[in-house]
């Protein structure tokens, strides 16, 4: 009888853990869809951006002479506000769409690999790091690969690299 109770408790624990992981996956996808795809890429909606992107978020890239560069969410939001004022956002043409490829969650840390499409064209592969805070999952970092370069990053200035990285 004692062993049956232990087995039942272990199975219940495994099921609860699996359910929590599925809930976390759903929450992470919602954060990326709402804050990044809708907020930053398609609408220019600062409220949606703030929902899922931590204030210390940084976009990281590699540029000329293999030098790393950083672009803060503060600067990205400023650029987004300019795009709204200039009529570039919300998007009027093809929307940016996301396909979620892989997710790895360990406790309160996660990494999501996504593909971004403009229409049917694959534009970027992104690797997004997230942490789970008291108010939910937040994007804290992103690295990326831009598909079909018409130029090499090594020929661009830092400003051109950043503009290229945030423009789809």
Residue range 2-166, CATH number = 3.10.450.50
Residue 86 pLDDT > 70: yes
Give the model confidence (pLDDT) of 27-81 as tens digits. Answer: 999 999 999 999 999 999 999 999 999 999 999 999 889 999 999 999 999 999 9
Cα–Cα distance for residue pair 41/141, rounded to 1 Å: 16
Cross-strand pairs, 113:
102, 127
pLDDT at 127: 98
Domain boundaries, the chain: 2-166
Give the model confidence (pLDDT) of 104-163 as tens digits. Answer: 999 999 999 999 999 889 999 999 999 999 999 999 999 999 997 544 444 556 666 666
Cα–Cα distance for residue pair 168/50, rounded to 1 Å: 20
């Amino acid at each position: 009888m004692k062993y049956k109770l232990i087995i039942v408790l272990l199975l219940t624990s495994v099921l609860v853990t699996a359910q929590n992981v599925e809930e976390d996956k759903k929450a992470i996808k919602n954060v990326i869809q709402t804050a990044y795809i809708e907020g930053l890429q398609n609408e220019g909606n600062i409220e949606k951006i703030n929902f899922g992107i931590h204030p210390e978020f940084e976009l990281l890239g590699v540029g000329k002479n293999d030098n790393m560069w950083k672009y803060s969410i503060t600067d990205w939001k400023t650029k987004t506000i300019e795009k709204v004022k200039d009529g570039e956002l919300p998007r009027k043409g093809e929307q940016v769409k996301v396909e979620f490829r892989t997710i790895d969650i360990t406790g309160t840390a996660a990494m999501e690999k996504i593909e971004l499409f403009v229409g049917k064209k694959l534009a970027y592969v992104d690797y997004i790091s997230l942490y789970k805070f008291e108010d939910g999952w937040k994007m804290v970092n992103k690295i990326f690969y831009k598909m079909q370069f018409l130029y090499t990053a090594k020929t661009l200035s830092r400003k051109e690299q950043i503009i290229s990285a945030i423009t789809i």
